[in-house]
Structures are given as C-alpha cells and as structure tokens.
Chain A
Amino acid sequence: AQRVTQPEKLLSVFKGAPVELKCNYSYSGSPELFWYVQYSRQRLQLLLRHISRESIKGFTADLNKGETSFHLKKPFAQEEDSAMYYCALSTVDRGSTLGRLYFGRGTQLTVWP
C-alpha cells in the first residue's frame, strides 16, 4: 500500500537559516512525488514535482529511490515561507498517467524574523 510519512508536524527556523522538510514514502512501483504548500487560509498550491527537477521560490527536492525519500530543502528560509507543506505521492500507470494523490500529514513551517 502507498504511504507518505512526514515525521515533523512542526518545524521552526530563523530567517536566513537552512530548512529541510522531510518526506519518506512507501510504494512498490514507481511513484510520482510532489510538494504542495498551503499558506494560511489559502488554496493548496503545487510547489514542486520530482519529474520537473526545478527550483521554485528557492526550494528544491530530490527523489532518492534508495532511501525512498523526497526531502524539501531551502538554503536560506524567508518569513514568507511560513506555511503548511504537504508531501504527496501519486502512482504512475502506463508511464503517462497519474493515479490518485496520497498526502502526508503535513509539516507546519514557521520562519521567525
């Protein structure tokens, strides 16, 4: 069965400090991994997906199949990064389609000034 684990419910750092939000997954096939962000009382927004290998708002995430991890990193956190971050997994069918999304429980990031 698919499972997404985000071990930290809460994470606090000071502005300018590096931040890493952990995500581990369990799935027997080849998953597609995502990071979604939800700012206070706003919609869920896609932040990153592993297939695009891009950096958004200074965040990066690398899929490590050996460790089944997809940790989200930013070298210098900003106050506006404070939000709830969800790691999500989707199964991949026939190489071109996604199955349903499975979300982790989320990590609330607070960046102090």
Chain B
Amino acid sequence: DTEVTQTPKHLVMGMTNKKSLKCEQHMGHRAMYWYKQKAKKPPELMFVYSYEKLSINESVPSRFSPECPNSSLLNLHLHALQPEDSALYLCASSQEWPASRRDGYTFGSGTRLTVV
C-alpha cells in the first residue's frame, strides 16, 4: 500500500457541529501532516506529527484539534468552525520528519469541507 487515504471525501457541517477528518497510511511512515488548501490557493501547513507527537503547530485556531492515536492514523477534530474554514484539507506523510531527500512526501486526495 503506497497511498495516504483520507475520509470522508466530502463533508458539510454546521457551525455548531463537531466532526472529525481521518487520515490513514500503511507505508510505515512516522511523520504525518495536515495542510489546508483554499480554492485556487496553494496548500498551507497546519500541523506536523512525528512519532505520534506534535512537532509543529502553525498557529492554527483551537477549533482545529489534531490527534495522532497511532503511527498509521492522524485525525483532525473540528468544532465550532466558521464558513471561512471551508477548504480542502490535505493529509501527507513521510518516512521521517524531516523527510529524507530520497523519499519525499506523499499526499492524500483530501477532504473537501464546507461549513454552513
């Protein structure tokens, strides 16, 4: 398995809802990432997890809460989001953090989130 799998592919949620995005990989990668991509904009790094510990938090609002329960799984818990949080949320992984030059990064196909 050489993929990063994200579920759900699409999510519509209200501003008072609580939901979670899931990311899974079975490549034995020990680093996982969350990116946010607004329409027609480049991906922006949100969080980096290395060996299930949070390594980087790019000043993301607390309404986004990441969780790494094991080395294959990365969740993003969402609560009290705003309409401007609507975006494509991308998960990525790499063998290690920092990633090696040889292996680089692998991206998932993303969850398209709409906050209404």
Q: Please report A residues at the B interface, Cβ cutoff 8 Å.
A: 32, 34, 36, 42-46, 49, 51, 84, 86, 90, 92-93, 96-101, 103-106, 108
State the CA gap A66–B99 with chains docked (Å): 26
**Segment touching A, from B21-29, B67-75, B101-109:** B101-109
Residues of A within 8 A of B108 (CB): 43
User: In the complex, what distance in Å separates the CA atom of A86 from the CA atom of B96?
Assistant: 23
Cβ contact within 8 Å between A101 and B101 = no
Instruction: Contact check, A104 vs B101: say whether CB atoms are below 8 A apart.
Output: no
CA A51 to CA B45, docked complex, whole Å: 23
Interface contact B99-A98, CB-CB below 8 Å:
yes
A90 CA to B40 CA, complexed, in Å? 21
Q: Is the CB of A100 within 8 A of B42?
A: no
Interface members, chain B 4-27 (any A CB < 8 Å): none
- Minimal Cβ-Cβ distance residue in A for B109: A43
On chain A, the residues within 8 Å of B109 by CB distance are 42-43
Residue numbers in B under 8 Å from A105 (CB-CB): 41-42
Pick the contact of A44 from B43, B44, B96 — CB < 8 Å? B43
Q: Is the CB of B45 within 8 A of A106?
A: no
- Contact, CB under 8 Å: A101 / B100: no
Is B56 an interface residue, CB under 8 A from the partner? yes
Minimum CB distance partner of A97 in chain B: B98
Q: How far is the CA of A53 from the CA of B24 in the complex (A)?
A: 31
Render B41-78 as a binary contact track against A, CB cut-off 8 A, 1 for contact: 11111001000000010000000000000000000000
CB of A96 within 8 A of CB of B100, answer: yes
By the criterion CB–CB under 8 Å, are B107 and A51 in contact?
Answer: no
A105 to B40 alpha-carbon distance, docked (Å): 8
Min CB distance, A12 to chain B, in Å? 16
Contact among B48, B90, B96, B100 with A100 in the assembled complex (CB-CB below 8 Å): B48
Measured in the bound complex, the distance between the Cα atoms of B104 and A51 in whole Å is 11
